[in-house]
Amino acid sequence: MITQIKEYIQFGDFNSKDAGWYLQSRDAPTPDKKEIVEQIPYLQGVLDFSDVLGEVFFDRREITYEFKLPNKDYPDRKVAERFIKSSMTTKSESQLFDTHDKRYYWLGKVKSIRVTDVPLKKHLIATIVFICYPFAFHADNYFDDVWDTFDFENDFSNWTKWDINVREEIYFVNGGDTSVSPTVICSSDITLIDKKGKTYKFQKGENNDFVLSIKPGINRFTAKGNGTISLRFNAEVMA
């Protein structure tokens, strides 16, 4: 009886389940925090400016997988080794889907692939190391809720569209773990003012203003104009 493959990854054209590789282990430690420190003479310790903006920043992270391809003759093992290397190492930064992180994906590229041949047992062992963005992206774009595929364990529902009549107090919720820069869609020219008095002006249509940052939690604004304003973004989590 052949054991069914339940855990697998998808990266570019490579799907480990379709290729017959069994996941042996997964290692995804949290990324290192970026530290910005200054040594000041005659001052104990150091001055740490790492979270001066009120948010923690991280370096890229490494995710390592070990797979086994069992019961293959030598010619088939050589073909499998070439395929797993050529189908992933030649790809630029791409989405990495992992069944362990349901409804999320990583954004990264292959750092290395090491394949070990075990001739006595007729199988291959592949160790794949990815370098990824520190946060995982939610697979759905939070613009419209799609209830047919809503996952109550992993998804969250936000109100992301508001009707503006001259002046309205509105809010947007970021359910992720870090700030995001959303795409803003307006039916007419609309201005947002945050609680610190900073002004963001958006024109009719689709706006990609990377200056606007939606922090985790509730973000309150004063909106001025006449029409609708909505946000599109993918939540980012520390998985």
User: Helices then strands (H, E): number in the chain?
Assistant: 1, 17
Domains and CATH numbers, the chain: 9-134 (2.40.30.200), 147-237 (2.60.120)
Beta pairing partners, 114: 127
Give per-residue pLDDT as tens, 104-146.
999 999 999 999 999 999 999 999 999 999 999 988 765 555 5
pLDDT at 18: 94
| pLDDT-flagged residues of the chain (< 50) | none
Q: Are 147 and 121 in contact (CB under 8 A)?
A: no
> What per-residue confidence (pLDDT) applies to 152?
53
- What pLDDT score does 20 carry? 94
The pLDDT of residue 96: 96
Distance (Å, whole) CA 19 – CA 16? 5
Question: Global pTM?
Answer: 0.82
Give the pair of three-digit tokens for residue 122: 């007729």
